[in-house]
Amino acid sequence: MQHSADTTPIIPGFYPDPSICRVGDTYYLANSSFEFFPGVPVFASDDLVTWTQVGNAFDRESQLPASSGAPSSGIFAPTLRHHLGRFWLVTTIVGDAPPEQVILHSATAEGPWSDPVTTNGARGIDPDLAWDGDDCFLTWTTFDGPTPGIVQARIDPTTAELLEQPRPLWAGTGMAAPEGPHLYRRGDWWYLLLAEGGTERGHSVTVARSRRPDAGFEGNPANPILTRRSTTHPVQNTGHADLVENADGSWAVVFLGVRPRGTTPGFHVNGRETFIAGIEWVDDWPIVTPFPRAVPGFDTAFVDDFSAPQLAHRWIAPGATAARFATPGADGGLELRAGDDGAVRMLAVRARDEQWTAVVDLDTAAGTGRVIVRTDATHWCGIEVDDTEIRAVQVIGATRTVLARRDSTGSATRVVLSAVNGERAALLRLNGPDELELGIDGEVLARIDGRYFSTEVAGGFTGRVIAVEVESGLLGLRRVDYSPLG
């Protein structure tokens, strides 16, 4: 089935802050991952609308930042580039200390990627790399000084050493939160693309140009070149864009957006997703146009019995690599092992669809745990299982509510979680975007208004994940079957 690129993401689910580059006839795209690891998913495509994940740039212990896994901390917006036969990725790791920029490189997009090197003196977020001959420019968003803005310095990308003092480049058009800079050369002009207005409903894309990469930028009189603010368009919060030139000389732009549902203020639940549009050049300024091809739709369904030697790229964990607590089980599946340090042991996968169902087979003979729909640590709902009882639970802020209880019938439990727009959900749309159903073995134990597990309620920069968490002992994870509904 074909879908309009204007309303259908090319990468659905919590895949924000897209950055894109082209090598020959293949396009590569990277996204933010925040507190989840492996970090920075990397995708490949030969047509800009059908994408396959080929790896994660951060995928081993030596690359992990010193992060607590706090919600919406960790790895912020990356920039992915290819220069002289090598892929380069620069990003920000946000934790307790003032954030600096980190740089990785690889011979292939699939990896392995190098261990990151860290700048000293480039505090801020949203870095970009661009080359002009032998000069490599690091451009980023700073919060130092009286006003936020975009700064730049030449850098050695192999060591992350700044080769000069940072200089102001452009402060944007005057909207809130100028950030997400990307620098490009086209003909005799250098272009600086920004996100402005914040990553909520005022999100916008603006552009400036200069004859030099390091000074003299003037804004486009027609700014912003992309925004959905104050419209009824079904895709909102559009911004944080990145341009790419196609092999035939045409251009395209990828950007993030959300699909809010429900009544005012509208609730988006799957996070900020990746969309695409076309670009035309008029008087040497970029104009955003409808993308000329339809989006075939992303195949989100999967079944995983964890028999493969490595976890699929889709699986993530907050604040840690899954290898710290997930190992192959003696009788198949995975064993999730609880720790004694209080850290969360949770294996998760992003929700990708507006309506979906996930069937999770557990073995609780040697431990206890839960299967949940999670926005963050204080906004989740799901099924808890121990040796005596099964509970449908929701946590909203500081409030924990047990919605239903059943006696445990043994060590094997089939948990079914769904996000639906059913008859009851149609009534709830006066308030929320959908309805979450929590069930076991074909019995629905609870139905919940989905707005409580949206970004508008929980805050932050991520989206819903479906997660299996071990609380004590060993939890057996036998199979996960995820499929879209509707």
List the structure tokens of 233: 């368009």
List the structure tokens of 40: 């920075």
pTM exceeds 0.75, yes or no = yes
Residue 329: the pLDDT is 87
Residue 412: the pLDDT is 83
Query: Does CATH number 2.60.120.200 belong to domain 302-484?
Result: yes
Q: Measured between alpha carbons, how far is 374 from 419 in angstroms, rounded to an integer?
A: 12
Is residue 44 a contact partner of residue 36, using CB atoms and an 8 Å limit? no
Report which secondary-structure segment, H or E, holds 484.
Answer: strand 465-484
**Which of 292, 311, 291, 288 lies closest to 227, judged by CA?**
288
- Residue 366, by phi and psi: left (phi above 0), alpha (psi -120 to 50) or beta? alpha
Active site residue ranges: 17, 179
Same fold, 19-289 and 302-484: no
Give the model confidence (pLDDT) of 279-294 as tens digits.
Answer: 999 999 999 999 999 9
Is residue 6 a contact partner of residue 290, using CB atoms and an 8 Å limit? yes
Residue 453: the pLDDT is 97
Among the four given CATH numbers 3.20.20.80, 2.115.10.20, 3.40.50.2000, 2.30.30.220, the one describing domain 19-289: 2.115.10.20
pLDDT, averaged in runs of 10, over the chain (486 residues):
87 97 98 95 97 96 74 92 97 86 98 96 96 97 80 98 96 94 97 96 97 96 97 96 96 98 92 97 97 90 94 93 90 89 88 97 92 97 92 97 91 92 62 92 94 95 96 94 93
Token pair 């907050």: residue: 318
Backbone phi, psi, residue 136, to 5°: -110, 125
Residue-range domain boundaries for the chain: 19-289, 302-484
Alpha helix (H) residue ranges in 334-432: 423-428
Residue 67: the pLDDT is 60
- CB-based contacts of 178: which residues, under 8 Å, 6+ apart? 141, 148, 149, 150, 170, 171, 172, 194, 195, 196, 206
Residue 146: the pLDDT is 63
Q: Measured between alpha carbons, how far is 447 from 398 in angstroms, rounded to an integer?
A: 20
Residue 96: the pLDDT is 67
List the structure tokens of 254: 């990828």
